[in-house]
Amino acid sequence: MGKHNQRYEAQITSREPKPFGFRYSCGLNGDNTGLAHYILLDKKNS
């Protein structure tokens, strides 16, 4: 069991179930939404 799994287990065992939700937003200038399920060109920062 790796360190990532230990982190995950610690998170879920310490949390009492309660309602939650969230949403992120980013700019919609069209530079990231031109693709179909064929190829990913999302390494725009590389």
Partner 1 sequence: MNSALNPHGARVNVGPGPRFDLCDIGHSDYVAVIQADSAFWTLAPRNQAASFLLGEELAQAFSSHQDRLQAEMQALRFGLKPSAVYFNPTERCNLNCHYCYLPEDMRRSGADMPVADVFRALEILAGYFQTDQQAGVFLPQIIFHGSEPMLRQDVIFAAIEKFGQHFRFGIQTNATLLDDGALDFIREHNVSLGISLDAHLAALHDRTRQTWGRKSVFGQVTEVLKKLTGYANYSVICTVTQANVGHLTNIIEFFHGVGVDMALLNPVRCTQPGGRQLKPEDHELAQRFIKALDRTWELYQETGRKLVIANFANILLAIAAPTARRLMCDISPCGGGRCFLALAANGDLFPCSEFIGLPEFKGGNVFQDDLPEVLDSVAFRPVTTRKVEDFEPCGSCAIRHFCGSPCPAEVYTTTGTMAAPAPYCAFYIEQARYAFRVLADNRLDDFLWQGWNEGAEKIFSL
> Does 46 interact with partner 1 (rule: CB under 8 A)?
yes
Size of the site for partner 1 (CB under 8 A): 39
b/e map of 6-43 (b: 16 or more CB within 10 Å)?
eeeeeeeeeeeeeeeeeeeeeeeeeeeeeeeeeeeeee
Least distance from C-beta 9 to partner 1, angstroms? 10
Could you say which residues in the range 13-42 bind partner 1, by CB under 8 A? 15, 17-42
Q: Which residues bind partner 1 (CB under 8 A)?
A: 1-5, 8, 11-12, 15, 17-46
